[in-house]
Structure 1
Amino acid sequence: MKRIAKYCSLLVVASGFAPAAAQDISSAYTKLDVRRDCKHRPGTAIEDYGEWRCKGHAGAPMWLGAGDQRMYVSFGAKAKDEPAAGQTLAPFNDFYKGVVEWRLSNGKPFAGIMRWNVKRAADMENREIRGRALVVTRLPPGAVCHVGYVDALANPNANELAREIADRRARDFVCGVDTPVVLGKITPGEDVFGAKP
């Protein structure tokens, strides 16, 4: 009986399958209205809209900054000092209200997925922001930065694509060395990510 158990253990390792508990990936969600749920510190210049401190899943610290019609989002105890605090999308965007999807491994968050509002090229002459982009961000421990992007208008399965980026890349992604990926289709004429899939 011991020999059979030992053989089964070796078979699991050799086949590349880990026990279910070791690969327990799930999602948690936080609804966020920045103006209602977060502490705001006003900016000091005309195009500086200030910054917000928020709490995400299980009280995880979040930082959001905005200026010149662009937004920046970062996570962690030192969120404002992380690479993500300097990353945004082109040309104009925001995330004042929405849902943060937290990808969890064994209950611990390793990536955040947020649906940003992005101004499309076709909307430059008016006030509407009709584009939507999913931004996947690597979470602590380690540096916090953008891992990848999905055009949510061009891809009906945008959420699944964003989870794929998070699950396959976020934990091993090296901020400042690795290049964020764009997964899926991109709306013709748009270049909000500065890259092509």
Structure 2
Amino acid sequence: MDLKHILLAAVFATSPAATMATAAHANESAYTDRDLDACKTLSEEEEGPSVTLLCAGYKDLPVYFKEGDLRQSQAYGPLSKTYIDSAFETFGPFNHTGAKIEWRLGASGIPVAAIARWFVADPEQTNDTDTRYGQVLVVSTVATTENPTSCVVGYVDALENKDANTLARTVADEEAAGFICGKSKPQWHGKRGGLAGDPMHYLPDAVE
């Protein structure tokens, strides 16, 4: 290759078109709204009380919602029966989830992770009429038919990090694919404030 062609190749490699081609392979987001009133009840116990719901998610991927003792858990994709029945990841303080779910789509358009917002009550709050809540973005894996498990990958304190959504997407894109439920340990990313709450995990195949 002569000098002219070398220079032209270098210009193309750094051109906007080349940059756009690279960016085209970056993960994208899709959004769904979970509607608890439209979910199907899979199990319900008055003692507790507790409930497990099957909800619509992204395309044909379901969302499994659980609530017990004023704490909520959520998982995504075609879960195994063991995970549907037994898995529960939440926070120690009373909490509830937001309805909006962000799905991070890989190059094939298939979700590789899901992001949801948890509202975590301040356990030190004594005024029942004006409860303070922390807000945490929870990044989770999405189950597949080959790997029917879904679990938390990481946490981002949405009140302490001004770029919380971007940070959560980075965690989803970089860590979800290699995360192994029951073996890998979810981590906090960015700053963590006093209202974030302590996570609680129960996974049927967890390694202590």
TM-score after normalising by structure 1: 0.78
1:45 maps to what in 2? 46
CA contact (8 A) 1:135 1:146 kept: yes
CA RMSD of aligned residues (A): 2.8
Among 136, 139, 144, the alignment partner of 2:139 is 136
Distance 1:184 1:41 in 2: 36
Give the CA deviation at 1:155.
Answer: 1.5
Give the CA deviation at 1:175.
Answer: 1.6
Deviation digits for residues 94-145 of structure 1 (CA, Å, limit 9, x no counterpart): 12x4200000002110100000111123435526352211110011232311
1:164 maps to what in 2? 170
| Structure 2 CA distance for partners of 1:108 and 1:177, relative to 1, 3 Å | same
Distance 1:65 1:30 in 2: 18
Task: Name stretches of at least 5 consecutive residues in structure 1 with no aligned partner.
Answer: none
How is 1:69-80 mapped onto 2 (pairs within 5 angstroms)?
69-78=70-79
Distance 2:125 2:103 in 1: 31
Which of the two has higher C-alpha Rg?
2
Deviation digits for residues 153-178 of structure 1 (CA, Å, limit 9, x no counterpart): 11121111111110110001122221
- 1:90 correspondence with 2:78: no
Give the CA deviation at 1:189.
Answer: 6.4
Distance 1:171 1:163 in 2: 13
How is 1:1-20 mapped onto 2 (pairs within 5 angstroms)?
20=22
| Structure 2 CA distance for partners of 1:65 and 1:129, relative to 1, 3 Å | farther
1:179 maps to what in 2? 185
Task: Name stretches of at least 5 consecutive residues in structure 2 with no aligned partner.
Answer: 14-18, 201-208
Distance 1:158 1:118 in 2: 16
Distance 1:130 1:21 in 2: 37
CA contact (8 A) 2:120 2:196 kept: no
